[in-house]
Protein backbone atom coordinates (compact mmCIF):
# COMPACT_ATOMS: atom_id res chain seq x y z
CA UNK A 1 0.00 0.00 0.00
CA UNK A 2 0.90 3.62 -0.31
CA UNK A 3 0.78 4.50 3.38
CA UNK A 4 1.26 3.04 6.85
CA UNK A 5 -1.53 0.68 7.81
CA UNK A 6 -2.51 -0.58 11.25
CA UNK A 7 -4.78 -3.40 12.30
CA UNK A 8 -7.16 -3.73 13.94
CA UNK A 9 -8.68 -0.28 13.78
CA UNK A 10 -10.38 -0.84 17.10
CA UNK A 11 -9.81 -3.47 19.76
CA UNK A 12 -11.93 -4.04 22.84
CA UNK A 13 -10.60 -6.46 25.42
CA UNK A 14 -11.09 -7.37 29.03
CA UNK A 15 -8.73 -6.57 31.85
CA UNK A 16 -6.03 -9.20 32.12
CA UNK A 17 -6.16 -10.34 28.49
CA UNK A 18 -3.32 -10.34 25.95
CA UNK A 19 -3.48 -8.20 22.80
CA UNK A 20 -1.43 -7.76 19.65
CA UNK A 21 -1.46 -4.62 17.51
CA UNK A 22 -0.01 -4.73 14.01
CA UNK A 23 1.73 -2.08 11.93
CA UNK A 24 2.58 -2.32 8.22
CA UNK A 25 5.04 0.45 7.37
CA UNK A 26 5.63 2.06 4.02
CA UNK A 27 7.62 -0.32 1.81
CA UNK A 28 11.34 0.31 2.08
CA UNK A 29 11.20 2.35 5.30
CA UNK A 30 13.75 0.94 7.71
CA UNK A 31 12.87 3.13 10.69
CA UNK A 32 9.65 2.44 12.61
CA UNK A 33 8.21 4.14 15.69
CA UNK A 34 5.34 3.31 18.06
CA UNK A 35 3.59 6.05 20.02
CA UNK A 36 0.73 5.97 22.52
CA UNK A 37 -1.91 8.67 22.61
CA UNK A 38 -4.05 8.79 25.74
CA UNK A 39 -7.38 10.59 25.65
CA UNK A 40 -6.94 14.35 25.36
CA UNK A 41 -3.17 14.12 25.09
CA UNK A 42 -0.51 14.24 22.41
CA UNK A 43 1.24 11.05 21.32
CA UNK A 44 4.12 9.79 23.48
CA UNK A 45 7.04 7.73 22.23
CA UNK A 46 7.09 4.03 23.07
CA UNK A 47 9.71 2.25 20.97
CA UNK A 48 11.92 2.68 17.90
CA UNK A 49 13.12 0.06 15.43
CA UNK A 50 15.92 0.40 12.92
CA UNK A 51 15.58 -2.66 10.74
CA UNK A 52 14.79 -5.73 12.81
CA UNK A 53 16.18 -4.55 16.14
CA UNK A 54 14.47 -2.53 18.84
CA UNK A 55 17.10 0.19 19.06
CA UNK A 56 15.29 2.27 21.68
CA UNK A 57 12.56 0.91 23.96
CA UNK A 58 12.93 3.59 26.61
CA UNK A 59 9.31 4.70 26.25
CA UNK A 60 7.70 1.35 27.08
CA UNK A 61 5.85 1.90 30.38
CA UNK A 62 6.61 -1.49 31.92
CA UNK A 63 7.50 -5.09 31.08
CA UNK A 64 3.95 -5.96 30.05
CA UNK A 65 4.68 -4.15 26.80
CA UNK A 66 6.83 -5.71 24.11
CA UNK A 67 7.27 -5.16 20.36
CA UNK A 68 8.90 -7.12 17.56
CA UNK A 69 9.81 -6.59 13.93
CA UNK A 70 11.27 -9.95 12.89
CA UNK A 71 11.80 -9.28 9.18
CA UNK A 72 12.41 -5.57 9.29
CA UNK A 73 9.00 -4.69 7.90
CA UNK A 74 5.78 -5.47 9.81
CA UNK A 75 5.88 -4.74 13.51
CA UNK A 76 3.67 -6.08 16.29
CA UNK A 77 3.13 -4.38 19.63
CA UNK A 78 2.20 -6.91 22.30
CA UNK A 79 0.57 -6.10 25.62
CA UNK A 80 0.24 -8.75 28.32
CA UNK A 81 -2.22 -8.70 31.23
CA UNK A 82 -3.92 -5.57 29.96
CA UNK A 83 -5.05 -2.94 32.45
CA UNK A 84 -7.71 -0.26 32.09
CA UNK A 85 -4.94 2.35 32.02
CA UNK A 86 -3.64 0.83 28.79
CA UNK A 87 -6.71 2.17 26.98
CA UNK A 88 -5.42 4.60 24.33
CA UNK A 89 -4.79 5.04 20.63
CA UNK A 90 -1.59 3.31 19.56
CA UNK A 91 0.04 5.01 16.58
CA UNK A 92 2.75 3.64 14.33
CA UNK A 93 4.99 5.72 12.07
CA UNK A 94 7.65 4.80 9.54
CA UNK A 95 10.40 7.11 8.48
CA UNK A 96 12.48 7.94 5.46
CA UNK A 97 13.61 10.77 3.22
CA UNK A 98 16.04 13.68 3.65
CA UNK A 99 14.18 15.03 6.66
CA UNK A 100 13.53 11.56 8.12
CA UNK A 101 9.89 12.59 8.14
CA UNK A 102 7.63 10.24 10.07
CA UNK A 103 4.53 9.04 8.23
CA UNK A 104 1.78 7.92 10.57
CA UNK A 105 -0.80 5.19 10.32
CA UNK A 106 -4.43 5.67 11.42
CA UNK A 107 -3.78 4.05 14.78
CA UNK A 108 -5.47 1.30 16.76
CA UNK A 109 -7.90 2.37 19.47
CA UNK A 110 -7.51 -0.06 22.37
CA UNK A 111 -10.23 -0.18 25.00
CA UNK A 112 -9.69 -2.31 28.10
CA UNK A 113 -12.91 -2.97 30.00
Partner 1 sequence: AQTVTQSQPEMSVQEAETVTLSCTYDTSESDYYLFWYKQPPSRQMILVIRQEAYKQQNATENRFSVNFQKAAKSFSLKISDSQLGDAAMYFCAYRSARRDLKTGAQKLVFGQGTRLTINP
- Contacts to partner 1 by CB under 8 A: 31, 33, 35, 40-45, 48, 50, 55-56, 58-59, 89, 91, 93, 95, 99-102, 104-107, 109
**Pairing between β-strand 65-68 and β-strand 108-112 as defined by DSSP bridges:** unpaired
Burial-class residue 92 by CB neighbours within 10 Å (0-12, 13-18, 19+). Answer: buried
Q: Residue 16 CB, nearest distance to partner 1 (Å)?
A: 26
CB closer to partner 1 out of 18 and 101: 101
Q: Residue 41 CB, nearest distance to partner 1 (Å)?
A: 6
CB closer to partner 1 out of 14 and 39: 39
Cβ-Cβ contacts under 8 Å for 97 (sequence gap 6 or more): none
CB 3 within 8 A of CB 105: yes
Amino acid sequence: GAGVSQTPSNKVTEKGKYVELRCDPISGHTALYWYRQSLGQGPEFLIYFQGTGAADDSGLPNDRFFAVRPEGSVSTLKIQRTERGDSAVYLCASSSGPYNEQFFGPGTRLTVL
